[in-house]
Amino acid sequence: MDQKWISVLLFLFSAVCGVSPYVPHRYHFVNESKTWTEAQSYCRRTYTDLATINNMEQMKKLNDTLKDKEKKTNSERYVFINETKTWTGAQSYCREHHTDLVKVRNQTENQKIYSVAKYSSTPVWIGLFNDAWKWSDQSRSSFRYWRSDQPDNLGGIENCAAVFLTDQGQWHDDNCNKQLPFICHENKLVLIQQNRTWREAISYCREKHVDLVSVHSEEIQLWVMEAARTASSEHVWLGMRYTCTQGFWYWVSGFSVCYQNWAPGNGTEGEDCSPVKRTGAVQAGGEQQWVSLPETHTLNFICTTYEEAMEGLQ
């Protein structure tokens, strides 16, 4: 791969930062869209600098980093709804019961869509509609998988996109009023941009979703990092609490704290519980490590949306 394509793929759309000058082959993938100059500034401020590639061994490690993060940072699941609705009806259903109609951002995700809906005998709605072909959440569509003769807007009334299983998952435009099954997507983690105490946060999550998030693996930590980056507070509550009587940290979901990502000076034994109890939060920026804070602080917080987000990774 020549330098031109490395620059386009790595620096224009997302940044890959070198973490430390003392660990030159360790890279950190930043899943945010920036110009090259903005990416350079971010990496220099947060890590060391934009990644440099000097040989094929480093290129291989960088590729491994990108592949690993694309597997692990996807905190979404796809839900096939085997009921027939118009495109608008499908959108309303997904927003009420899940997050939204599914959007497809690359070939890997399109293959997952195909796998989820492969037993459908009819085409399946996805969240693409013809307002300059945007997704249901109004985000722009850059990846397309139209069949070679599509979209054709037959009769001037085909303004919504469907996956045709008989065409190996290729897309057709279709009449939005047609009744078809559809696919919703659901985020496993939801950032709540409201400042609340830890107790208020856990009550909110248990009422509206499932619980405050428990981070018992590196994979869930990566999900948390992605969610926390858009927080409006410096730290974000996690579902972690310290018991003064027993002298240890625990997750409110019932998991013990095995995987750890504490910032220096935090998470030690003998926490000072006076005058208020200590609870866990994650830094919204920087290294995004965990910190110990009094439960009375008011912060944004992250909820889990369903039990499988925790159970499936034990």
CA 220 distance to own-chain centroid: 10
Give the predicted TM-score (pTM) of the model: 0.60
Judgement on whether residues 46 and 80 belong to the same structural domain of the protein: no
166: domain CATH number is: 3.10.100.10
Of 133 and 274, the structure prediction assigns the larger pLDDT to 133
Domain with 67 in it: 3-72
Q: Do 171 and 196 lie in a common domain?
A: no
pLDDT at 158 over 80: yes
Nearest 5°: CA angle at 202, between 261 and 212?
Answer: 40
Same-domain status, 197 and 293: yes
Together in a domain, 140 and 212: no
The answer to whether residues 134 and 104 belong to one domain is yes
Are both 49 and 63 inside the same structural domain? yes
Q: Same domain, yes or no, for 178 and 194? A: no
The residues, ordered by sequence, that sit 6+ positions from 21 with a Cβ below 8 Å of its Cβ are 48
pLDDT in tens, 245-282: 888 899 998 877 888 999 999 987 677 777 889 999 99
How much of the chain exceeds pLDDT 90, in percent?
Answer: 43
Number of domains into which the chain is organized: 3
pLDDT in tens, 200-257: 999 999 998 899 999 988 888 988 998 898 899 999 999 999 988 888 899 998 877 8
Q: How far is CA 4 from CA 9, 11, 69, 205, 212, in A?
A: 9, 11, 23, 46, 44
| Residues 246, 168 share a domain | no
